[in-house]
Amino acid sequence: EAGVVQSPRYKIIEKKQPVAFWCNPISGHNTLYWYRQNLGQGPELLIRYENEEAVDDSQLPKDRFSAERLKGVDSTLKIQPAELGDSAVYLCASSLNGLGEQFFGPGTRLTVL
Amino acid sequence: GNSVTQMEGPVTLSEEAFLTINCTYTATGYPSLFWYVQYPGEGLQLLLKATKADDKGSNKGFEATYRKETTSFHLEKGSVQVSDSAVYFCAQGGSEKLVFGKGMKLTVNP
């Protein structure tokens, strides 16, 4: 069974440019999470979806970040415009009905120059 | 709010040495507790978990016991291997979100 898929794995952009990350969760997992992991830190939740509904986006910086999960399967996280401080690894995770273990993808490492 | 404090590294050990990584948490209620591991170039993987007080999680020779009285979930392994070199994260939470510690990088030398 395929795990959580994320793309791209790496992205380098200049500040003020837009960027988007894509995540495809494990088949059948209706709960999807986006985390941000700064260098030397643990991941921090940005947003959680139950199916297509964003049920917790309290930590998402809404002035420049947006996310969608239109059909309740794959999801896109966007930053526009990117700032230097957005350099981090963006992790996607999924779980079955929000119970138990969260399965993480490999992450997208973003570098903003 | 809920938080996790864990030993910060980096730590270097020789093969077959004993490993302890301390982890304490603050929380309202009784969250589930987790240890995740991140091998070089890979994503986070669940190593073990415990869902209630006095539960012991174990996997791949690693163990951790949920201690409610000390709000701790220390990770131990009796004899580490080179293949255990990774970053280890303690976390608490449940279905809503996980709150992670900062992680500890472990290097095991032959």
pLDDT at B43: 86
Query: How high is the pLDDT of residue B29?
Result: 82
Q: Is A102 exposed, middle or buried (0-12, 13-18, 19+ CB in 10 A)?
A: buried
DSSP type of residue A2: -
**CB interface of B with A, residues 51-80, below 8 Å:** none
Q: Which tens digits make up the pLDDT trace of B24-44?
A: 999 888 899 999 999 988 889
Q: How far apart are the first and last CA of chain B?
A: 41
pLDDT, mean over chain B? 93
Q: Do A42 and B46 touch (CB under 8 A)?
A: no
B44-75 pLDDT tens trace: 999 999 999 999 999 999 999 999 999 999 99
Which residues of chain B are within 8 Å of residue A99 when distances are taken between CB atoms?
95
Residue A99: predicted pLDDT: 66
Q: Which among A42, A48, A107 has the least Cβ separation from residue B103?
A: A42
Measure the CA–CA gap between A79 and A89, rounded to whole angstroms: 13
- Residue A10's pLDDT band, with cuts at 50, 70 and 90, is very high
A69-109 pLDDT tens trace:
988 899 999 999 999 999 999 999 999 876 668 999 999 99
Residue-wise pLDDT for A32-51, tens only, equals 999 999 998 999 999 999 99
User: Cβ separation of B4 and A104 shorter than 8 Å?
Assistant: no
Q: Do A42 and B101 touch (CB under 8 A)?
A: yes
Give the residue from B25, B97, B99, B105 with the most A CB atoms within 10 Å of its CB, the best one to mutate.
B97
Query: Quick one: which of A67, A107, A83 has its CA closest to A18?
Result: A83
Give the residues across from B98 on adjacent strands: B93
Q: Which residues of B touch A60 (CB under 8 A)?
A: none
Contacts of residue B56, Cβ cutoff 8 Å, sequence gap at least 6: B50, B63, B64, B65, B66
How many beta-carbon pairs below 8 A join chains A and B? 49
What's the token pair of residue A78? Answer: 């966007």
> Which residue on chain B is closest to A31 by alpha carbon?
B95
